Amino acid sequence: MLKLNINNETSRLRAVVLGAAISNGPTPKIENAYDPKSLEHIKAGTYPIEEDMVLEMEAVAKILEKYDVKVFRPDQVKDYNQIFARDIAFVIDDVFIKANILPDREKELDAIKCVIDQIDPEKVIRPPKEVHIEGGDVMLWKDYIFIGTYKGSDYSDYITARTNLEGVNYIRELFPNKIVKEFDLVKSRIEPRDNALHLDCCFQPVGKDKGIIYKSGFREESDYMYLVDLFGKENLFHITREEMYHMNSNVFSISENVVISEQNFTRLNTWLRDHGFTVEEVPYAEIAKQEGLLRCSTMPLIRD
């Protein structure tokens, strides 16, 4: 049996699900794009090809293995995008929560049945269908659960709005001993530079007390200020609109002092090293074209 344990984003990682890019399928049609960044690359003819994405994901797998992390991969589904493991489920404490994802992504959950079958069935839950919540919007830090959402009355018009207030309230009821704080995120169907698809597109804690943040990813300045007050401005690395577009806040922590990051994130990687982190750099720019990066393609199961 897998004894799940996730209380934060940065403790020493022991087991993780890493997505897969094999048999990823053809480039989607314009009308089937899930997010504005994929749409941009489909239109430009620069959508990533499978061969490149497989190499990028293998680079991550190698680093995880180097640090003795147990890596699970999904079963292969033919011609199907299985890269973003974080969307489909997430762990809080010892509870595995299946996300109510976009209906045509259900097969992604079936493909990790081999993992789910190793978890105590009483610890595997699926929210009622009015609850929308995806792992990229859920972030654990000390006694807090941070959740990205979209509070606009036009929520249902946005394929990029992935977690609703019912999702926030569901987690609040499930974990009454945690401080659940939701953040209203900026959404766009057409401009990836103005679309925080998930909370990890504009914020993520690193180490013990640091974080990466993009101020304009929050619809309300008070939400941004909440994090500044909590972490202290000097502990936050502020990224630019262009850095947010390239997903600089979507790195992945193996431990409090080891971070996997994209090799082109020069400014961020320098800052991390200056603050005592070991930065394991990987090529991930092709996968980034689908508006997801390292945190999006990993689903941690056990941290110390």
Q: Which domains does the chain have, with CATH numbers?
A: 13-303 (3.75.10.10)
Give me the tens of pLDDT residue by residue for the chain, a chain 304 residues long: 999 999 999 999 999 999 999 988 788 787 777 677 877 888 888 888 889 899 999 999 999 999 999 999 999 999 888 999 999 999 999 999 999 876 778 899 999 999 999 999 999 999 998 999 999 999 999 999 999 998 877 766 656 567 889 999 999 999 999 999 999 998 777 676 777 789 999 999 999 999 999 999 999 999 999 999 999 999 999 999 999 989 999 999 999 999 999 999 999 999 999 999 999 999 999 998 887 899 999 999 999 9
- What token pair was written down for 35? 């997010």
**Which bin fits 273, alpha (ψ -120 to 50), beta or left (φ > 0)?**
alpha
Query: To 10 degrees, the CA torsion angle through 20, 201, 165, 36?
Result: -80
Give this prediction's pTM. Answer: 0.93
User: CA-CA distance, 172 to 228, in Å (whole number)?
Assistant: 23
